[in-house]
A and B are shown apart, each in its own frame.
Chain A
Amino acid sequence: DAGVTQSPTHLIKTRGQHVTLRCSPISGHKSVSWYQQVLGQGPQFIFQYYEKEERGRGNFPDRFSARQFPNYSSELNVNALLLGDSALYLCASSFSGSPQETQYFGPGTRLLVL
């Protein structure tokens, strides 16, 4: 198993544009979480999804949205991009998202907004 995979690895957008980031969890994992990591800071929780339902949401504006598909892969969408959205976006998966489980992180997508 390749572990959690994310695409693309890098992308560059301009202010006001829209971006979609993708995540494929480890095979058998049904829960996906998204984190934003701004340079020099720790990851910050954005969303958690389990069985296509949102289970948790961090303190992010409505410009950020996500969804999970029947195959448990997930997309993170960001509208009306701002310079401050430039960050590494991490996806993590676990079997059911329950507190006892370890989360496994992907390599991240590095987004640069110009």
Chain B
Amino acid sequence: AQRVTQPEKLLSVFKGAPVELKCNYSYSGSPELFWYVQYSRQRLQLLLRHISRESIKGFTADLNKGETSFHLKKPFAQEEDSAMYYCALRDKAAGNKLTFGGGTRVLVKP
């Protein structure tokens, strides 16, 4: 069965410092990975997906199939990056069902 693990419940960094959110997955097929973000009092929204290979709000994520990881990185954290981040995997054979990790709360201190 597919599984997504986010080992850190909370990451606290200072403004301007790098931030890396870890995501590991288990999946037998070819996965499609996403990062979703939820800012305070807002709804869950897509941040980026691995197939796009783009940078959104300064964040990037690289799919490493050998290590089954999809870590999210930003070189210089901003206060507005404080939010809840969820890594998710989509099973292409199951429509658009998403399997989410437990989430990492990022707190960027001034």
The bracket for how many chain B residues form the interface is: 20 to 34
Q: How far is the CA of A4 from the CA of B101 in the complex (A)?
A: 23
Of A3, A45, A105, which is within 8 A of B97 by CB? A45
Contact B44 A90 (CB under 8 A): yes
A107 surroundings in chain B (CB, below 8 A)? 43
B97 surroundings in chain A (CB, below 8 A)? 33, 45, 48, 56, 58
Q: How far is the CA of A94 from the CA of B28 in the complex (A)?
A: 26
Is B100 engaged at the interface, CB distance under 8 Å to the other chain? yes
The 9 closest A-B pairs by CB, nearest first: A42-B100, A105-B44, A45-B97, A99-B92, A55-B95, A56-B95, A43-B100, A56-B97, A107-B43
Q: How far is the CA of A48 from the CA of B90 in the complex (A)?
A: 13
A3 surroundings in chain B (CB, below 8 A)? 43
Chain B: minimal CB distance from A52 (Å): 15
A43 surroundings in chain B (CB, below 8 A)? 44, 86, 98, 100
What residue of chain A has the Cβ atom nearest to residue B90's Cβ?
A: A99
Q: How far is the CA of A111 from the CA of B90 in the complex (A)?
A: 26
B32 surroundings in chain A (CB, below 8 A)? 99
The bracket for how many chain A residues form the interface is: 20 to 34
Q: How many A-B residue pairs have CB under 8 A?
A: 59
- The B-contacting residues of A in range 30-53, CB under 8 angstroms, are 31, 33, 35, 40-45, 48, 50
Q: Residues of A with Cβ closer than 8 Å to B?
A: 3-4, 31, 33, 35, 40-45, 48, 50, 55-56, 58, 90, 94, 97-99, 101-108
Chain B: minimal CB distance from A8 (Å): 16
Q: List 15 A-B contacts (CB under 8 A).
A: A33-B96, A33-B97, A42-B4, A45-B99, A48-B95, A48-B97, A50-B95, A56-B94, A56-B95, A97-B95, A97-B96, A98-B95, A99-B92, A105-B44, A106-B43
What residue of chain B has the Cβ atom nearest to residue A43's Cβ?
A: B100
> B56-94 toward A: CB 8 Å interface, digit per residue (1/0)?
000000000000000000000000000000101010101
